[in-house]
Amino acid sequence: MITVHHLNDSRSQRILWLLEELGLPYEIKPYQRDATTRLAPPELTAVHPLGKSPVITDNGRTLIESGAIVDYIIRHYGRGRLQPAPETPAYEDYVQWLHYAEGSAMLPLMLNLYAMRLGAAAAPLTPRIESEIANHLGYIDSALKGRQFLVGDSLTGADIQMSFVGEVAGAFGKRAAYPNLDKWVARLHERPAYKKALERGGAYSLAV
């Protein structure tokens, strides 16, 4: 059985959601952020040296990185669900979104988080950060124009992987300016499997 080492208010919430969409059995080992620093507890380093979440263990294997975990679970347990057929052009779009989420889209949002913590000291960087956030959110919004999902006509792992980007943008109050992105996140949050994952995973402040 897959074990999800689940950190509250983190990327691991989307792994729970993926497992619920596929109807797979899984176990949760919960971890709580430090109330002051908001960092993961040191106990996670016993699972993987980086001490980050998400981490899953399955059949003696330990995997990190959201995109790799989404890909692994769908390839091994999806039975053709939640991804386009590998021989189709849509599959290449799907893989691109899987990598884009953390490879490009999350970077300016994370820089924005650190800039907020620095306050006035980050002022010289703020215009560039804001510009990059607008660039990426605008790109995602354009890709969703006239579409319900990022790839094809149904939910895929690309939507699950990219959901965290939309949620963090919402938490920073930046999503409302991008109506296609905003409606997409709202649709995802209405899915029964998403709600079930919230029930199992516990409080998740990014579900906005």
Which of 1.20.1050.10, 3.30.1360.10, 1.10.1060.10, 3.40.190.80 would CATH assign to domain 89-191?
Answer: 1.20.1050.10
Which among 152, 120, 134, 137 is positioned nearest to 182, based on CA atoms? 137
> For the chain, what percent of residues have pLDDT higher than 90?
92
2-82+193-201 topology per CATH: Glutaredoxin (3.40.30)
The residue ranges of every structural domain in the chain are 2-82+193-201, 89-191
Token duo for residue 150: 């990022």
Place of tokens 């971890």: 31
> pLDDT tens digits for 129-154?
999 999 999 999 999 999 999 999 99
* 3-state SS, one letter per residue, for 9-48: CCCHHHHHHHHHHHCCCEEEEEECCCCCCCCCCHHHHHCC
In this structure, the number of other CB atoms found within 10 A of the CB of residue 29 comes to 13
Beta strand residue intervals within the chain, DSSP E: 2-7, 26-31, 55-58, 61-64
Return the H-helix or E-strand segment holding 94. helix 89-100
Cα–chain center distance at 54: 10
90-141 residue pLDDT tens: 999 999 999 999 999 999 999 999 998 889 998 999 999 999 999 999 999 9
| DSSP code at position 43 | G
- Residue 11's pLDDT is 96
Residue range 51-90, pLDDT digits in tens: 999 999 999 999 999 999 999 999 999 999 999 999 999 9
Nearest-5° Cα angle at 132, 178 to 9: 70
Cα–Cα distance between 53 and 40 in angstroms, integer? 8
